[in-house]
Structure 1
Amino acid sequence: MNTTELLPRIAVTLGDPAGVGPELAVRLLARPETTRMAEVYILADAAEVEAAAQAAGVVVPLSAAPRPGYAVLLDDASAPAEAIPVQQVSQAAGERTLHQLKRAVALANAGEVEAILFTPLNKTSLKLGGMNEEDELRWFARELDYEGTTSELNVLPGLWTARVTSHIPVSEIAERITVGNVLNTIRLLHSVLVDSGLESPRIAVCALNPHAGENGNFGREEIDQIAPGIAAAREDGMDASGPFPSDTVFLAAKRGDFDGVVTMYHDQGQIAMKLIGFDRGVTIQGGLPIVIATPAHGTAFDIVGKNAANLGATEHAFELAVKVGSRIRAAKAAV
């Protein structure tokens, strides 16, 4: 049997070319131990990889075919003739980013990869480059022709979060907190935690209002929507509890009382997770039929070219892609 036969197959893109993504990608892939964990396919032109590697002071081992310790470069000779300006938002950066992400999705749709890892993107550049969805999660869902429940998941070692609402105005949050949306988000988080290896994950659910609404004095979402969603999850056999005030639930989660937390909106969980472990934070595009992971931090325009970006979150994102991607490939092999 080929030694790479059952390794997960991961497509890697360099993220926004104006940010730290290219240097993070090449630093990750320059390590032979990284490419022994998976079949890695780099979606970039040779000149882009070479420039990033030279800037980062590393060499990326490349091979024409999958083999441990090497990555396969899928060069389609599509890099623009003029260099994309670094450290700034631009249409060119957004178009280049989307081009490689579309190639990665095409590999996934063809069943040729189980996971996608992309280094940090810039949402404004993506919009300028042609992405019309509210965020990349919805873009991926459309490209994968997936209509089920999705949620961005933020992950630290030992703690996962999902959110009922994400990239929308604060003024629209309350109307989207419904029993069904709460239940579906709990289900999604439970499912991915099981896929990650936990047999019976413990999930806390945040309140929306201060002090969990104080019995309806500060809002009724906890009574009318969130608590019924939790009750429905428990009836389905999931270990979900709450709603808990969001200013204290992460203290309990940090000490190990819970494996996951469902939050009601973006910053409710993101602020806590980034304070707990910014350098290890990962975002998973949850609910999709393949694993799509990225470091949770941004493009860090201020340190581009300084080789100062912390590699920890990118390493963790790759490790998660390998872990869940391995399960997906094993399931394929068992059919």
Structure 2
Amino acid sequence: MTLPRIALAIGDPAGIGPEIVARLLADPATAAKADIQLISNREALEAGARAAGVPLPVAGERLRFVEWAGQDARFAPSVASADNGRFILDSLTLGTRLVTDGQADALCFAPLNKGAMRMGGMHEEDEMRWFAKLLDYSGPCGEFNVLGPMWTARVTSHVALKEVSSLLTPEGVAGAIRMLSDALRAAGTAQPRIGVCGLNPHNGDNGNYGSEEAEVIEPGIRLAASQGFPALGPYPADTIFVRARRGDLDGIVTMYHDQGQIATKLLGFDIGVTVEGGLPIPVTTPAHGTAYDIVGQGTAQATAMTSAFDLACRMGASHRVRQGAGS
């Protein structure tokens, strides 16, 4: 069996990334899932392995250390700085190039610190837009949050709440449905069941609390269906996650950031995964942050890191098949 090839980056070397990557690589099951190209930093990885109480990863049949300039740099733990921000951006650039050059099938990285990344030279609003620029990709894209079998996407993301309504369009709703459907299929769900959130309390209550449901969201659902991406809804945002939790839906399209984030983090803060959706390559990462407050304490859990890695393996295998079909 041909295993997927995963470019694995330790994320922020000042955070818990090195520790949870060390935990991931110490699990014998990891080597059975993929051929791994590790983009790391020697000192940070050594410290992470010590904190986790696991052996330092060594190169082998399924693990190769990528030789690059950042591997010998030094960073103060638990500090966001321009230095570790540049390290993050350079390591992600390297991992992206491994995938686009055909040397890897997917990129998986440990948590990042957006403040450090901005100090290090990121000018985009988030890493999603940074990836899109790096890939010279101008199509629709957005973050997906994955909690076991449940996926969420959003029509708007890192914008002020007062701007959400003006940014919603039928095309945007349809685009989010399409991206989420494609991603679920790439992860192995042949016929995704997508539900769509309303925006207003009680789904607008027939226009009494707002008209976006009738004027924007429903036309967006119809547009997506006409393109071959059926979805259900809109459903009130305060009940749609109940439907998903009982197994009626595989994915949910929300209208703004916290509409989905609050629900998914409440259901499983330490196991969630973020997928940089819509991009030409598969990219996954844990949904939690760098946890500067517990660096070096040996308490960081690799549950979400393992889930992100497993998802990268599934999506990477699909990506390889698609690339082969297109060659």
Normalised to the residue count of structure 1, the TM-score between the two structures is 0.93
User: Is structure 2 residue 27 aligned with structure 1 residue 36?
Assistant: no
Deviation readout 1:197-223 (Å, 9 max, x if unpaired) = 222111110011111111122221111
Tell me the SS of whatever aligns to 1:12.
strand
Aligned partners of 1:63, 1:23: CA distance in 2, in Å? 17
- For 2:70, which of 78, 92, 97 is the aligned residue? 78
Q: Whole-Å Cα distance in 2 between the matches of residues 51 and 106 of structure 1? A: 27
Given candidates 54, 57, 61, the residue that maps to 2:53 is 57
Aligned counterpart for 1:21 among listed residues 17, 29, 37: 17
Deviation of residue 333 (structure 1)? 4.2
> What is the rounded CA distance, in whole Å, between the counterparts of 1:168 and 1:255 in structure 2?
31
Summarize deviations over 1:69-92 as a string: whole Å, max 9, x none: x411113243565x3222232222
One of 133, 141, 146 as aligned partner of 1:142? 133
Contact kept? 2:43, 2:72, Cα under 8 Å: no
Query: Which residue matches 2:236?
Result: 245
Matched, 1:228 2:219: yes
Please tell me the residue identity of whatever aligns with 1:49. L
The equivalent of 1:46 in structure 2 is: 42
Q: Does structure 1 retain, via aligned residues, the 8 Å contact 2:19–2:47?
A: no
Is the 2:48–2:296 Cα contact (8 Å) retained in structure 1?
Answer: no
Matching of residue 293 in structure 1 with residue 284 in structure 2: yes
Unpaired runs of at least 5, structure 1: none
What amino acid is aligned across from residue 255 of structure 1 in structure 2? R
* RMSD value, Cα: 1.6
From 153, 162, 167, give the equivalent of 2:153.
162
Aligned equivalents of 1:274 and 1:78: distance in 2? 33
1:42 alignment partner AA: L
Of 260, 282, 289, the match for 2:273: 282
Unaligned runs of 5+ in 2: none
1:185 to 161, 176, 189: 176
Report if aligned partners of 1:18, 1:87 keep a CA contact under 8 Å in 2.
yes
- The number of residue pairs the alignment matches comes to 326
Letter in 1 for 2:55: V
Residues 231-271 of structure 1 deviation map (CA, whole Å, 9 limit, x = unaligned): 12223333311111111110111101111000011110011
Structure 1 residue identity aligned to 2:68: D
SS at match of 1:280: coil
Is 1:176 the counterpart of 2:172 in the alignment?
no
Amino acid aligned to 1:58: V
Asked whether 1:92 is paired with 2:88, we answer: no
Find the residue that maps to 1:78 and give its secondary structure.
helix
Deviation at 1:23, TM superposition (A): 0.4
Cα distance per residue 1:46-77 (max 9 Å; x no partner)? 3332232223222244336xx2xx41111324
- Answer whether contact 1:45 1:77 (CA < 8 A) is retained: no
- Distance in 2, Cα, partners of 1:121 & 1:78: 16
Return closer, same or farther for 1:167/1:149 CA change in 2, 3 Å cut-off.
same
Between the aligned partners of 2:83 and 2:69, the Cα distance in structure 1 is 16
| Equivalent-residue separation in structure 1 for 2:116 and 2:224 (angstroms) | 39
Match runs of 1:322-333 below 5 Å: 322-333=313-324
